[in-house]
Structure formats: structure tokens, C-alpha cells
Amino acid sequence: MLELSALEGGAVKVHPLTLRGPLAGVGSLSQYRIVFGAGELRVEAVLRGANGQQVRGEIEARLEAALAEQGVQAPPILVESVAEIPRHPRSGKHKAIEVQGA
């Protein structure tokens, strides 16, 4: 669970599915990893054959809307295109959401 600032003060616990769900509908998004740290959400996105700037804007908008529905003041969202998402060194799995400093 992520703990983010509420729109009306205080904090809101946000389940990872709140962040993952909106990204499922982005057709040009092949893989992603969301990293929360330093007061921002960074989305590392592997895009396939699309206008990168348009897709990055769509990802930001979907995440902001999902967080607003939960009563969360969205932190800055940075979407960056990457060639691949690294796998966990031991498990070999992709970690979709990661909290830095936790």
C-alpha cells in the first residue's frame, strides 16, 4: 500500500490496483513499472509503435483521475519511455510497483 496525501489534508492508503488498473487500458503500453519515491510517481513505460508523447500524456491523465477518485492529491507524475523493464535479479519477475526508500 502506498500512503499519499489526501485532497482534504491527511493521508490516504492507496492499493496498488488503483495504479495498475488504469494502465491496463493503454493499448500502446507493452510493460511498465511504477516507482514511488522522492514525492513523485515515476512510470517507466515500454511503448510499442505509438506517439510516445501522446501515450505519456494518456498515462499521466489516467493515473491522476484514478488517484482523484480515491481522494488523493496526485504527486508529480513523470512518465519516461524505456527500452525494457529489468527483471528482479533473484526471482526473474517484473515488479510492477516499487517504493524507493521503503
pLDDT score at 102: 56
Cα distance between residue 72 and residue 84, in whole Å: 29
Give pLDDT tens digits for 5-49: 999 899 999 998 999 999 998 988 999 999 998 889 999 999 987
Spell out the residues 6+ positions from residue 24 whose beta carbon is closer than 8 angstroms to its own: none
pLDDT score at 42: 95
pLDDT score at 101: 66
Domain 2-99, second-level architecture: 2-Layer Sandwich (3.30)
pLDDT score at 13: 94
- Which residue ranges make up each domain of the chain? 2-99
pLDDT score at 27: 84
